Amino acid sequence: MSLFDLRLSDVHNRLHHKEISVADLVEESLKRIGETDGKIEAFLAVDEEGARKQAAKLDSSGEERGLLFGLPAGIKDNIVTEGLRTTCASRFLANYDPIYDATVIQKLRQAQSVTMGKLNMDEFAMGGSNENSAFHPTRNPWDLERVPGGSSGGSAASVAAGQVYFSLGSDTGGSIRQPAAYCGIVGLKPTYGLVSRYGLVAFASSLDQIGPLTKNVEDAAYVLQAIAGHDSRDSTSANVDIPDYVSALTGDVKGLRIGVPKEYMGQGIDPQVKERVLEALRTFEAMGAVWEEISLPHSEYAVASYYLLASSEASSNLARFDGVRYGVRAEDPANLLDLYRRSRSEGFGTEVKRRIMLGTYALSSGYYDAYYKKAQQVRTLIKRDFDQAFEKYDLIVSPTVPTTAFKIGEQVNDPLTMYLNDICTIPVNLAGVPAISVPCGLADGLPVGLQLIGKPFDERTVLRAAHAFEGQTEHHKLRPAL
């Protein structure tokens, strides 16, 4: 059994009694990366030297032990790490070495985890398969012919393969939860504003949120505890009290009221995926929770609204990549305009250009009201659907993704089909509410994810319910034979 299969409290007990050292944990991570990364290619960069140094420092320190003391972590490559190359899996940033740490990285340092390196993703977090990485695709540890999901595909595959104890990802339309579902692990997207975005390379600023990917719900609660909190450097950071997430994990869901949106269980949902979700609902019933079918009537408009809004925000955010201050500059530009155009055209991949074009068009003179404003109004209607549902229910439950992981190359040429994979995850970002994906079994040998959606800033209920479900099932203990 791997050290990474131990509960966090067990790891800390062993460290405390000097049965193991932080160096052992780091060596375990490096060994596993060495054994498996040739197959799954989750990492873009492994910081072997930095991790060993940090392990030695932690082993010799007499400091009070942080919440995540000694745990090897992988970081999605759109979260900036001082001195450690951060590329967003884009050729544009192939040479970019950040000169500061993201707030979440500073918080991980306080919690005393060990950063093992940077994880692959779809370029600038645009995509759901990691096939849009400019460097190489990551493969699903459960089936190397299949995608790990995305955009945090490296983050999910790495945890599933036992390379790291936990990882951080980012979620704009499902980018933590969908790969977590495809790789059979836990992925949490916190409420918008709970975790600082300072140092997260922006894709769609009103939707992006950083969160943990872990092997179980308890670990997710610990990592969230470490990274949540107000940050004056992120003006969209919420100034709320951070509760104790771990103490929410009581195992008790008696009387919990669950709504199951019929729009998330209908057309396009694989029958086996639906069956796993219904089994999960029976498990909740057996624990004393109650569920009934509800309607979120504007669900079918979420994908269209999202792609207009996210692309519009992206077209604005990615204007900063101009080849002037950092990144890869085109050779021998004729003038400044030529420098902008060629640096961007040579640096960005197909999907990134497609979204910049869509967003620029939606924001351009004459089309703003028809597309951008209309999409924002529909966002209001979608958010109201959730507000109304949460007047009556504590939690909304659905599949995380309509299907299991698809084959590499199967969908890459069809942007619309690819976008429809996100039908259950996108509304959550538009409404800004928290949601977790937890394993709820297999379909034809591939993991299925169960999504639990909560009220704004009510991560405690989301984690409590997810943890109680996990306690009644064995799904999260399944590991890919890699």
Partner 1 sequence: MSITVKDVEHVANLARLELAEAEKERLAVELNAILKYAEKLNELDTEGVEPTSHVLPLYNVMREDEVRESLPLDKVMANAPEEEDGHIKVPAVLD
Q: What is the spatial order of strands in the sheet that 290-294 belongs to?
A: 43-46, 114-119, 72-76, 166-171, 209-214, 186-189, 435-443, 446-453, 395-399, 257-261, 290-294
Binding region for partner 1 (CB under 8 A) out of 15-23, 34-42, 213-221, 305-313: 305-313
Look at the chain and count its residues.
482
Binding region for partner 1 (CB under 8 A) out of 10-18, 48-56, 155-163, 375-383: 375-383
Nearer to partner 1, 157 or 396 (CB): 396
Question: Active site includes 151?
Answer: yes
Backbone angles phi, psi at 269, to 5 degrees: -85, 125
Whether cis (ω within 30° of 0) applies to the bond prior to 247 is no
Q: One of 175, 312, 343, 437 is an active-site residue; which one?
A: 175
Task: Report d(CA 41, CA 137) in Å as an integer.
Answer: 7
Task: Report d(CA 280, CA 297) in Å as an integer.
Answer: 24
For partner 1, the binding residue among 72, 137, 150, 323 (CB under 8 A) is: 323
193 lies in the site for partner 1, by CB under 8 A: yes
358 lies in the site for partner 1, by CB under 8 A: yes
Nearer to partner 1, 9 or 232 (CB): 232
What's the token pair of residue 153?
A: 């595909």
For partner 1, the binding residue among 17, 337, 444, 481 (CB under 8 A) is: 337
Q: Give 406's DSSP letter.
A: P
For partner 1, the binding residue among 360, 403, 472, 473 (CB under 8 A) is: 360
The secondary structure element, H or E, covering residue 167 is strand 166-171
User: Scanning residues 422 to 441, which ones bind partner 1 (CB under 8 A)?
Assistant: 430-432
Q: Give 201's DSSP letter.
A: P
For partner 1, the binding residue among 275, 301, 403, 478 (CB under 8 A) is: 301
* Tally of CA atoms within 13 A in the half-sphere of 88 that contains its CB: 25
230 lies in the site for partner 1, by CB under 8 A: no
Query: Would you give the binding string for partner 1 spanning residues 153-192, x where CB under 8 A is met?
Result: ---------------------------------------x
Question: Active site includes 175?
Answer: yes
Q: One of 90, 151, 237, 299 is an active-site residue; which one?
A: 151
Which residue in 49, 71, 76, 52 sits closest to 2, CA to CA? Answer: 71
Q: What angle do CA 438, 482, 70 make, to 5 degrees?
A: 65
417 lies in the site for partner 1, by CB under 8 A: no
The secondary structure element, H or E, covering residue 44 is strand 43-46
In the bound complex, what is the minimum distance in angstroms from residue 188's beta carbon to partner 1?
18
320 lies in the site for partner 1, by CB under 8 A: no
Q: What is the residue whose two structure tokens read 């999907």?
A: 351
242 lies in the site for partner 1, by CB under 8 A: no
383 lies in the site for partner 1, by CB under 8 A: yes
50 lies in the site for partner 1, by CB under 8 A: no
Task: Report d(CA 436, CA 178) in Å as an integer.
Answer: 10
Dihedral over alpha carbons 216, 220, 226, 229 (to 10 degrees) = -170
296 lies in the site for partner 1, by CB under 8 A: no
In the bound complex, what is the minimum distance in angstroms from residue 302's beta carbon to partner 1?
10
For partner 1, the binding residue among 65, 354, 443, 461 (CB under 8 A) is: 354
Nearer to partner 1, 135 or 361 (CB): 361
In the bound complex, what is the minimum distance in angstroms from residue 363's beta carbon to partner 1?
9
Q: Which amino acid is at 161?
A: A
* Tally of CA atoms within 13 A in the half-sphere of 182 that contains its CB: 38
Which residue in 73, 80, 45 sits closest to 58, CA to CA? Answer: 73
User: Scanning residues 80 to 139, which ones bind partner 1 (CB under 8 A)?
Assistant: 95-97, 99-100
Alpha-carbon 90 to chain mean position: 18
Question: Active site includes 311?
Answer: no
Task: Report d(CA 84, CA 105) in Å as an integer.
Answer: 12
Q: What is the residue whose two structure tokens read 């190397």?
A: 144
For partner 1, the binding residue among 39, 285, 380, 407 (CB under 8 A) is: 380
Task: Report d(CA 378, CA 372) in Å as an integer.
Answer: 10
344 lies in the site for partner 1, by CB under 8 A: yes
Binding region for partner 1 (CB under 8 A) out of 25-33, 144-152, 294-302, 459-467: 294-302
Q: Which residues are catalytic?
A: 76, 151, 175
Chain contacts with partner 1 (rule: CB under 8 A): 95-97, 99-100, 192-193, 206, 232, 235-236, 238, 298, 300-301, 303-305, 307-308, 315, 319, 322-329, 333-342, 344-345, 348, 353-354, 356-358, 360-361, 364, 371, 373-381, 383, 415-416, 430-432, 456
